[in-house]
Amino acid sequence: MTTRVVRSGHPRAIRRRIQLLTAPILVVVLGLGSAACDSATPRAASPAPSSGTDSSSGVTPGPGAGGGTEGFHSPVTAASAPSQPSAGTSPSAQPPAASPMPTAAAPSPPSPATAYDSAKFGFAAKGLRGEVMAFVTTSQVDDALARLDFAAVSTIAFFSLEAGSTGGIRKDGRWKIWTSAPVDRMIERAHASGTKVVISLARFSWSPAQTTTSATLLASAKARARLAAELADEVVRRGVDGVNVDFEPIPRGQKANFTDLVRRIRAELDARRPGLQLTFDVVGHFESYDVAGALKVGADAVFLMGYHYAGTFSTIAHATAPLDGPRYAVIDAIRGLRKVAKPHQLIVGVPYYGHLWPTASGALNARTTGRGFDVLHENARTIARERGSTYDPVEVVQRSVWRGRSCATCRLQWFQLYYDDARSLTVKWKEFRRLGLLGTGIWTTAFEGTSGDLTKALRAVWLAGE
């Protein structure tokens, strides 16, 4: 595993620029524009700023590390119909009639409904079978007001506010949106439907500069105390329901200090109003966190970023959220977490996006020949309609494969897109329920687009009576 794979997790993976990119990318991928290879061909965007924020809005879109589109030219397809690999080339070309569950999964434990704190997780009161946490980034508030199915969501995590090196909450572009009228309306809508709203507090350590800031904050008891108090005050001021702490990963030597920060946040929340929710996020390789310690000192649950296990860093094309398989997968992370956390303390997030690579062949899990780029579900769905798709029951993922012309060489090239759809997500959600986990999370609902197919699948698994 590379260090980039350790970044598997939630939000961070998909930057807001992807939303700006996907329209021109689709034109080329689907062959809707000219098949000529020239300087006018749309290309992937330049790398995001090293600070981890969107240069236009100061927004980093959510839990999930990695991602990016740098270093890869968007593919141009051939004018002819796509050539799909034969059944002999691709093991997943003929999907089974039913989606098998992972055979190595542990026996089903008792339902979390008897163990979770109903004052902090109110999903049962609104008719849900488990916690469903939806992340809404600063750029997605209007989309949430227009399209989010509040009935199928138990907690909305506003992503995000950012912590500074001295412990204060940064009063930047995110803060401006957090204090805006649209967020007022989102909170009102959520509360009217029995849905909680929490502040997602972000602090990334994926670059040397970010790591220095995070370490400076965590190493200072004064800064930790200030941050905990400011967060609790803001929860009360806005009338919301708790905090989601998204520090990823924890800098070396700061594990105990992060646990102390969680303890301080719990104490400050309890001092303001008992029953406020407190969760923290971990990446796929969660060794930098003291998960058991953070739960012991007051966190109500841990949110596993069950995505970005593949991306621009991958040498093999495969699922961004593999449930199982030969490589490190979501089920492996769940097994590890269950050694230090109870099932009713575990929420597993899923991605509403996938990843597309140029590859050496059309075979399943072929070698990648470029970094590729993330593709939102609404655009992956469009590509699959044009190119066709097959289902891999091992990783539990949809895959589209075709040959087209690369802008880099103007030669025919294989391309592969791996993404989650209603079928794959249903299998994953049913497995989370079978394991007795507290629930799931979504990064992010806005990535679904207008189809409603993922929302329908979500309701079928998690909403009682559906």
Q: Over 60: is that where the pLDDT of 147 sits? A: yes
CA atoms of 303 and 438, how far apart (whole Å):
10
Peptide bond into 160 cis (omega under 30): yes
Q: Over 70: is that where the pLDDT of 24 sits? A: no
Pair 248, 200: CB distance under 8 Å: no
Q: pLDDT: is 147 or 67 the higher one?
A: 147
185: in domain: yes
Query: According to the model, what pLDDT value does residue 333 have?
Result: 98
Alpha helices in 122-180 (DSSP H): 141-147, 173-178
Q: Over 50: is that where the pLDDT of 452 sits? A: yes
Q: Over 70: is that where the pLDDT of 77 sits? A: no
pLDDT confidence tier of residue 298, bands split at 50, 70 and 90 = very high
| Residue percentage of the chain with pLDDT more than 70 | 76
Peptide bond into 444 cis (omega under 30): yes
14: in domain: no
From the CA atom positions of the chain, what is the Rg in Å? 21
The angle, 0 to 180 degrees and rounded to 10, between the axes of the packed helices 255-272 and 208-219 is 60
Query: According to the model, what pLDDT value does residue 111 have?
Result: 54
132: in domain: yes
CA atoms of 251 and 64, how far apart (whole Å):
16
Pair 440, 332: CB distance under 8 Å: no
Q: What's the number of domains the chain is made of?
A: 1
Q: What is the pTM of this model?
A: 0.82
Q: Over 50: is that where the pLDDT of 227 sits? A: yes
Q: pLDDT: is 341 or 65 the higher one?
A: 341
47: in domain: no
What would the pLDDT profile of 91-145 be if each residue is shown by its tens digit? 222 222 233 333 334 434 445 556 899 999 999 999 999 999 999 999 999 999 9
Q: pLDDT: is 163 or 46 the higher one?
A: 163
Query: According to the model, what pLDDT value does residue 410 have?
Result: 82
12: in domain: no
- CATH number of the domain to which 158 belongs: 3.20.20.80
69: in domain: no
Enclosing domain of residue 194: 115-309+316-351+420-462
Query: According to the model, what pLDDT value does residue 114 have?
Result: 61
Q: Over 70: is that where the pLDDT of 451 sits? A: yes
334: in domain: yes
What would the pLDDT profile of 334-391 be if each residue is shown by its tens digit? 999 999 999 999 999 999 999 999 999 999 999 999 999 999 999 999 999 999 999 9
412: in domain: no
- What does the pLDDT average to over 384-412? 93
Spell 165-179 as b/e; 16+ CB within 10 A means b.
Answer: bebebeebbbbebbe
Query: According to the model, what pLDDT value does residue 335 have?
Result: 98
Q: Over 50: is that where the pLDDT of 28 sits? A: no
